[in-house]
């Protein structure tokens, strides 16, 4: 029965599990590239600082991979709650449901991790060439693929996905069938006490650590600042549903004058906060991590005239671009998954007379709400992360960020969310509404 449930879910929710596979693929690619570069730093003649930077990049890659893959897998499981509730009503046991979900996760993540491991080795080549061109790696050093990358990639993708799937399904699988059906019909908006407590602790820990680091030496503050970023991002991920809903409520009044599509979008976000929070988390990572890395360099250049050693600056920007690209792809992937799963909802709106342009406008307003919330949270996180280092280095917690950087980050996040939402919504609108309603009933 377990295998049958897994096959049925993979067929019925292909976009969700394609999304999980895509997240695992990019996670494995980034981790593979970082692991390969770390193995190169052990070669003779490579500066010790390069090895330290490679370790930081690898740890960051693994963290972001776990974070994004877990978020994507959680979304995939949540999208099949109705089916899981139905199989519970016909006699499936909780452990059979959980086992089926884990099988789905492995089936989606394992092949993607293998492909990503190979792609990472290819990605490491231009990275390696750039480091050689900057003089950080001696000219005679040879780039060799390390088989250590394979278990690391498999560990990140194939362990994280099933674990996230299991954790996402435990509570739901233990509900009585009737309660599970009710909850699947109306999305759960609250947070479990454990998740809420962990989220509050993570945010409080980030605030406390940021304050303590302002009184620490500059070099130690810089080393520990990454932990501040991780704590805040983890807190946002855990508390996301409690953040997105109030954010939509705050902007509800100003957007009323823009018509019914804007009002409906705000109601959707407030009624389904878990769905939109899943898309917000990778965007917060993009904004927080990108602004922190760029802001430190631009502030140093503003105060001292130099952003740092050219080689290490290059490595920092390459790593930032890699993380930002990975998180951006994950965000677009999650948004596309969510939009595809709404095809019945979109079809019902059309059946009752909503025009296609109104549906598109609604989707754009939802995307804009998620994007603006992510930008605000990511900006606050980056300020809290940079403050200890800037206080020690320059006597002020405020960074110097050129308006062009702010505009590019803000415009990029907004464009990403709108496109990732509009494309699948446009595809859903091309199908006859009554056909979609009948097929998904």
pLDDT band at 351 (very low <50, low <70, confident <90, very high): confident
Residues 65-110: tens digit of each pLDDT: 777 777 777 777 777 777 777 777 777 787 887 887 888 788 888 8
The closest of 163, 161, 186 to 19, measured between CA atoms, is 161
Cα separation of 441 and 250, whole Å?
A: 34
Q: Do residues 77 and 206 both lie within one domain?
A: no
Cα separation of 228 and 86, whole Å?
A: 43
Cα separation of 369 and 252, whole Å?
A: 10
The closest of 379, 160, 399 to 283, measured between CA atoms, is 379
- Give percent above pLDDT 90 in the chain: 4
| pTM attached to this predicted model | 0.81
The closest of 213, 215, 232, 233 to 223, measured between CA atoms, is 213
The residue whose two tokens read 């945010």 is: 203
Q: Do residues 287 and 326 both lie within one domain?
A: yes
Q: Do residues 246 and 136 both lie within one domain?
A: no
What's the token pair of residue 16? 């969700």
The answer to whether residue 233 scores a pLDDT higher than 70 is yes
Domain residues for the domain of 356 are: 192-441
| Average pLDDT of the residues of the chain | 79
- Tally of residues, the chain: 441
Indicate the residue among 186, 219, 239 that finishes a domain. 186
Residues 46-64: tens digit of each pLDDT: 766 677 777 777 777 777 7
CB 374 within 8 A of CB 287: yes
Q: Do residues 36 and 72 both lie within one domain?
A: yes
For the chain, what is the domain count?
A: 2
Q: Do residues 233 and 98 both lie within one domain?
A: no
Q: Do residues 181 and 255 both lie within one domain?
A: no
Q: Do residues 123 and 242 both lie within one domain?
A: no
Q: Do residues 207 and 136 both lie within one domain?
A: no
Q: Do residues 181 and 210 both lie within one domain?
A: no
Terminal alpha carbon distance of the chain: 24
Cα separation of 363 and 215, whole Å?
A: 46
Question: What pLDDT does residue 222 have?
Answer: 65
Residues 191-215: tens digit of each pLDDT: 677 788 888 999 999 888 888 887 7
Cα separation of 276 and 274, whole Å?
A: 6
Residues 213-229: tens digit of each pLDDT: 877 766 666 667 778 88
CB 80 within 8 A of CB 12: yes
pLDDT band at 271 (very low <50, low <70, confident <90, very high): confident
Indicate the residue among 171, 186, 201 that finishes a domain. 186
Q: Do residues 197 and 322 both lie within one domain?
A: yes
Indicate the residue among 160, 186, 212 that finishes a domain. 186
Q: Do residues 289 and 160 both lie within one domain?
A: no
> Which residues make Cβ contacts (< 8 Å) with residue 310, sequence separation at least 6?
134
The closest of 288, 289, 306 to 297, measured between CA atoms, is 306
pLDDT band at 280 (very low <50, low <70, confident <90, very high): confident
Q: Do residues 379 and 274 both lie within one domain?
A: yes
Question: What pLDDT does residue 11 have?
Answer: 56
Q: Please state the rounded mean pLDDT for residues 13-39.
A: 78
């Amino acid at each position: 029965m377990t295998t049958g449930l897994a096959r049925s879910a993979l067929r019925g929710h292909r976009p969700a599990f394609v999304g999980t596979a895509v997240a695992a693929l990019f996670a494995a690619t980034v981790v593979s590239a970082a692991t390969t570069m770390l193995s190169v730093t052990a070669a003779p003649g490579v500066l010790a600082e390069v090895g330290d930077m490679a370790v930081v990049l690898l740890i960051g890659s693994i963290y972001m991979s776990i974070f994004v893959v877990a978020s994507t897998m959680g979304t995939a499981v949540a999208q099949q709650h109705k089916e899981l509730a139905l199989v519970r009503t016909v006699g499936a046991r909780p452990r059979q449901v959980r086992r089926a979900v884990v099988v789905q996760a492995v089936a989606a993540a394992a092949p993607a991790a293998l492909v990503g491991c190979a792609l990472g080795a290819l990605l490491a080549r231009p990275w390696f060439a750039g480091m050689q061109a900057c003089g950080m790696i001696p000219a005679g050093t040879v780039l060799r693929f390390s088989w250590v990358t394979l278990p690391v990639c498999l560990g990140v993708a194939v362990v994280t996905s099933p674990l996230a799937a299991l954790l996402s399904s435990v509570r739901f699988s233990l509900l009585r069938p009737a309660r599970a059906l009710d909850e699947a019909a109306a999305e759960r908006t609250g947070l479990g006490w454990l998740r809420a407590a962990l989220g509050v602790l993570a945010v409080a820990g980030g605030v406390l650590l940021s304050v303590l680091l302002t009184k620490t030496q500059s070099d130690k503050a810089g080393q520990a600042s990454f932990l501040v970023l991780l704590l805040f991002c983890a807190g946002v991920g855990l508390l996301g549903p409690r953040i997105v809903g109030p954010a939509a409520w705050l902007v509800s009044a100003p957007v009323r004058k823009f018509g019914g599509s804007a009002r409906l979008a705000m109601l959707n976000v407030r009624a389904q906060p878990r769905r939109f929070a899943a898309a917000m988390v990778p965007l917060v990572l993009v904004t927080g991590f990108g602004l922190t890395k760029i802001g430190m360099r631009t502030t140093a250049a503003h105060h001292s005239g130099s952003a740092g050693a050219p080689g290490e600056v290059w490595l920092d920007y390459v790593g930032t671009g890699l993380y930002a690209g990975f998180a951006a792809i994950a965000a677009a992937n999650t948004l596309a998954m969510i939009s595809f799963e709404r095809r019945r909802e979109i079809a019902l709106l059309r059946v009752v007379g909503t025009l296609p342009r109104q549906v598109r406008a609604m989707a754009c307003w939802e995307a804009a709400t998620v994007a603006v919330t992510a930008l605000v949270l990511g900006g606050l996180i980056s300020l809290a992360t940079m403050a200890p280092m800037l206080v020690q280095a320059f006597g002020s917690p405020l960074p110097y960020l050129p308006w062009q950087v702010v505009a590019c980050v803000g415009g990029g996040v907004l464009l990403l969310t709108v496109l990732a939402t509009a494309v699948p919504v446009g595809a859903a609108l091309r199908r006859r509404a009554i056909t979609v309603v009948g097929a998904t009933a």
